[in-house]
Chains A and B, each alone.
Chain A
Amino acid sequence: MAHEAHSALQNLLEIRGVTRRDFLKYCGSVAAALGLSETMAPQIATALEGAPKLMPTLWLNGGSCTGCTESLAQVDSPDVATIVLDFLSANYFETIMAAAGEQAEKNVADTIAAGGYILIYEGAVMAGQDGNTLLVAGRKSTEILEEAAAGAAAIIAVGSCAVDGGWVRGRPNAAGGTGVQAWLNHKNIKTPVVNLPTCPVNPEWIVAMIVDLLLVADRDVATFVAKNEWITRDYSDETYGKVSLLMPKGIFGQSIHDNCPRRGHFENGEFVTEFGSEEEAKGYCLYKMGCKGPQTFTNCPIVRWNRRASWCVEAGSPCIGCGGLNWVDNNTPFFHRVSDMWMGEGLGNVQPGSVAAIVGGVAAVGLTAHGLGMKAAGRIGEGPKMEEASAYDRKHEAKKGGDK
């Protein structure tokens, strides 16, 4: 059996002109995206080669912009990644599937009836207007989610909207958006959910999770959960209460600030203070521009985006913290510095619920560790750099017409 599957993969590789060397290289990048050592590559390769037939998958779009599907379409590199995706039978994938209308809906029903599939959910769960803010095939989308979630082996919530409602949940949340885990708690559905935030999701992480679940853990969800290192992030949804989110530690365990290529300039006190400037051309630190790297926990600087072409900070923009929870409420105004928000100057823009999320969640740890805490620990010297920064900001903000 294993031998036959092995041959099938070899055939696929040959047909697609992929050499063994390319394949191992790819497995190495999967390992890196999983937060594993690249020495794991041969083990991943062995797991891939032992893969049985395609795993049925439903990719459902909730209140999405389709950006996470788009993001997946950017994944590396001609055929090597699609081999892995070819291990999925994407029976429903709204943006790329051939079928439409009734035929498409039949694919969902057939897959649920057969069982043993994974569910990937993109976009916010649309609960507003009594579940009518998103209708699919004339039905409330929340009902479709519940049916698909209850029968799934595992669920992957891709992108910040699916994780906790994303920008849709930003105040006043007129559309009633929420996250997959919050909704499943509300409906008492216990299927495990892996959460992959950021807006959009980084496609390398989806591939990493799929490889890990299907191939390294041989589709066994219990093994998948047991073998991985996880972190949990807690927050309080305004409507559905306390939610605990499971996330892979290798991806979301370290702050952007910790791995930022511009970190040296932060330590040296070399900052960009205006966009498109000479300091930007030198690649100085964007902390003073409001960079949310210190409080945002993803491996973006390592994995990068669009087949490693670049990432947000390299393009001269401060990180806006799209991998954080309730990220729009917690991180706007984006160009306002973290410590200022923390110290209260910008609190007018933050709701009580959001403050609880900051204080109670990982973000608070980040702020303490990298703002005030670092000063206290003496890592950035006697503290003058931070003080100078605050003084600079006061002046800068005053010039723009007061605090934002």
Chain B
Amino acid sequence: MTRAVIDPVTRIEGHLRVECEVTDGVVSDAWVSGTLYRGMESVLKGRHPEDAFYVSQRICGVCPTSHGHASSMATENALGITIPNGARIIRNILECAEFLHSHLLWFYTLTALDYVSPINALSANIADTYSLAEQAGARVADFGAIAKRLTAFAENGQLSILTGHYWDHPGYVLPPELDLIATAHYLEALEMQAVAAEVVAIIGGKFPHPMTSVPGGTAFVPTDQKLDDILFRLQRVKDFIDTALIPDTLAIAPYILDATTYGKGVGNYLSWGVFDNEDMDPYNRFLPRGFMSGSLAVEKVGAEDVTEYTSHSWYDSATNLNPSKGETDVKFTSYDVNDRYSYGKAARCKDKPAEVGPLARMLVSYVNEAGGKSPIPDAWANTVRTPKKLIDGTLEALGVAGKPEVLQSLLGRVAARNLEAAYVVDLSLQFTNELITAIKGGDVSFFKAPEKFDGAGAGLWEAPRGSVGHWIDIKGNQIERYQVVAPTTWDIAPRDDNGVRGPMEESLVGAPCVDTERPLELLRIAHSFDP
């Protein structure tokens, strides 16, 4: 029995430690620790509710758009405001761009280097690389020039961001030609994630930390030129997803099929839902609300179903509280996996640990669609690839047609995120066209001013990496209580008071770890949650 520790887990947003007990090459226990406390909830207390949108999104520099939306929705929920239809569509486009930016950044910049070796790509045969790209339906680049560039980089002896990694680990199994294709796309993705982020900037002024989705609607007023700028960029992103992200996923998957046999986790899935439909019904969002508990059956779920345990976390606060009554009084003791070991609270849904993120959302959509329930209007049916179509096509391509349960694994979690990107980019183009049509039809209302600031509410939405909830309690124009249950709070949850592991902890247990000094498999699993 040995310990494998990754601290810091790099290529993520924030600060994370993963510690595993490994027995005969298999993980037998795991502890995941969030090692940073900043105190956002206490900073917001006593301020004006309109300030919360701007400040609270600074929780996350990768998904500020989603936090900002959850925050404004909490205030709107507390005040009983329904935002105008134009603002609904603008927020949907913003959130789509946020998802596209984040998913592209995640696959290429954050996790690809767990599978792809740019060093191995140096030995690729250039002609074979072109043949492989054609066969995979992947966009070509000047592969010869990129190989030359990589060689020059390697030969100068300073590997910069590639320094010190275990490139000779036996887990790097791709042929050099595929490594070269993926490395070319890694470089191009740096450009494409920025193009997606430009859409956020056009609407919100800048990314990260866009400025437009204030409580009541949007500050932004679309013009013809801005709409053209948005459409053009989304089209470019779609092209990259269709000719790089999806083909790369399908080309790499056959080499790592063993990753369908571990990494499942708790088997409970939560989605608050994201991308509002015209009826503003969370169960009819384009990625709908739902909870699955141990089986692929979708239940209803709401803000009242959430609690947070604190007995293994560095807080001196009561345990098992709903966020509407939540407390966050920090008190560090020591790092002790048998006692307190994380700044993360143990979020629970209906008293169960719940995985959040693209896998949860795509499963909820899949089950709904299989049951004949789809949020997509008939008029969009030919232009939008639905979650079920995307999943079924992928399962067939990998030789496991009709078995959606294989998605409950490391590889499934990776694939779900990339397939979701394909769905979201199709939606983004439809939303933009919907906005253009609405404006042409005279629908030019984007903001409904709050009348008075009193009340309590919750904003339940989805960030790229999973379910995000903001709870606000407003008294006399001031925030009395503010609580956030962030996506990563769900996924990196420590044990609860009953000793039940959190989702990432549970997904690590049972995973292979061939080299505890270089625990590549564990890094892959941690990254698969996009923490």
Contacts and interface: CB of A to CB of B under 8 A. Distances in A.
A266 interface: no
A319 B61 CA distance: 19
Given A98-B113, A310-B206, 13 more contacts: A63-B36, A64-B61, A89-B160, A91-B163, A101-B519, A102-B5, A106-B164, A277-B221, A307-B198, A309-B229, A315-B202, A315-B210, A333-B51
A200 B209 contact: yes
Interface in A326-381: 328, 332-336, 349
B449 interface: yes
B208 A70 contact: yes
B375 interface: no
Nearest to A101: B6
Interface of A: 11-12, 15-17, 53-54, 56, 61, 63-71, 73-75, 78, 82, 86, 88-91, 93-107, 124, 126, 128-130, 132-138, 167-168, 170-175, 177, 199-200, 274-277, 280-281, 305-307, 309-317, 320, 322, 328, 332-336, 349, 400-402, 404
B330 A310 contact: no
B120 to A, nearest CB: 13
B380 interface: no
A100 B162 CA distance: 11
Contact of B219 (A11, A126, A275): A275
A172 B190 contact: no
Contacts of B204: 310, 315, 317
Contact of B15 (A61, A129, A333): A61
B212 A317 contact: yes
Given A73-B105, A101-B9, A275 B217 contact: yes
Contacts of B209: 67, 199-200, 322
Given A277-B447, A404-B477, A95 B11 contact: yes
A132 B332 contact: yes
Q: Return the 6 tightest CB-CB contacts between A and B, nearest first.
A: A67-B61, A276-B447, A276-B446, A315-B205, A317-B211, A306-B201
A120 to B, nearest CB: 13
Contact of A332 (B48, B64, B446): B48
Nearest to B520: A100
A333 B47 contact: yes
Q: Which of B35, B42, B105 has the most CB of A within 10 A?
A: B35
B58 A65 contact: yes
Contacts of A17: 142, 145
Nearest to B87: A276
B165 interface: yes
Nearest to A65: B61
A15 B149 contact: yes
A245 B209 CA distance: 24
A192 to B, nearest CB: 24
Given A100-B11, A103-B165, A276 B220 contact: yes
B59 interface: yes
B109 A281 contact: no
B12 A305 contact: no
B327 to A, nearest CB: 12
Interface stretch (B174-182, B235-243, B426-434, B450-458): B450-458
Contacts of B37: 126, 128-129, 133-134, 175
A306 B97 CA distance: 13
B43 A170 contact: yes
A404 B49 CA distance: 10
Interface in B92-115: 105, 109-110, 113
Contact of B211 (A67, A124, A315): A315
Given A95-B11, A97-B11, A305 B205 contact: yes
Contacts of B166: 99, 103
A104 B523 CA distance: 13
B43 A54 contact: no
Given A101-B7, A133-B332, A309 B145 contact: no
Contacts of A70: 61-62, 207-208
Contact of B161 (A67, A93, A280): A93
A78 B191 contact: yes
Interface of B: 5-15, 17, 35-40, 42-43, 45-48, 50-51, 54-55, 58-62, 64, 84, 86-87, 105, 109-110, 113, 142, 145, 148-149, 152-153, 156, 158-167, 190-191, 193-194, 197-198, 200-212, 214, 216-221, 223, 229, 314, 330-332, 335, 445-447, 449-453, 477, 517-519, 523
Contacts of A94: 8, 10-11
11 contacts: A15-B145, A67-B62, A70-B207, A94-B11, A100-B6, A274-B449, A280-B221, A306-B194, A307-B198, A335-B50, A402-B477
Contact of A74 (B40, B62, B194): B194
B36 A134 contact: yes
Contacts of B84: 276
Contact of B35 (A134, A174, A309): A134
Contacts of A170: 43, 55
Contact of B208 (A63, A71, A136): A71
A168 to B, nearest CB: 5
A306 B195 CA distance: 9
Nearest to A160: B58
B118 to A, nearest CB: 9
Contacts of B191: 78
A88 B13 contact: no
B160 to A, nearest CB: 4
A75 to B, nearest CB: 8
Q: Which of A15, A74, A96 has the most CB of B within 10 A?
A: A74
Given A275-B446, A275-B447, A400-B452, A315 B212 contact: yes
Contacts of A16: 145, 149
A400 B8 contact: no
A313 B200 CA distance: 14
A401 B7 CA distance: 50
A90 B10 CA distance: 14
Contacts of B14: 65-66
B64 A67 contact: yes
Contacts of B450: 400
Contacts of A61: 15
B201 A310 contact: yes
Nearest to B165: A98
Contacts of B207: 70, 74, 305-306
A143 B11 CA distance: 22
A336 B55 CA distance: 15
Nearest to B445: A276
A204 B214 CA distance: 27
B66 to A, nearest CB: 13
Nearest to B216: A275
B158 A312 contact: no
B205 A312 contact: yes
B160 A126 contact: no
Given A134-B15, A275-B217, A276-B219, A315 B203 contact: yes
A137 B349 CA distance: 31
B205 A311 contact: yes
A310 B55 contact: no
Given A99-B165, A101-B9, A276-B445, A15 B148 contact: yes
Nearest to A85: B160
A161 B229 CA distance: 32
Contacts of B165: 97-100, 103
B193 to A, nearest CB: 7
Contact of B10 (A67, A104, A200, A322): A104
B43 A167 contact: yes
Given A175-B330, A400-B452, A54 B160 contact: yes
Contact of B162 (A98, A130, A200): A98
B219 A128 contact: no
Nearest to B151: A15
Contacts of B110: 95
A55 B223 CA distance: 45
B119 to A, nearest CB: 10
A264 to B, nearest CB: 18
Contacts of A305: 201, 205-207
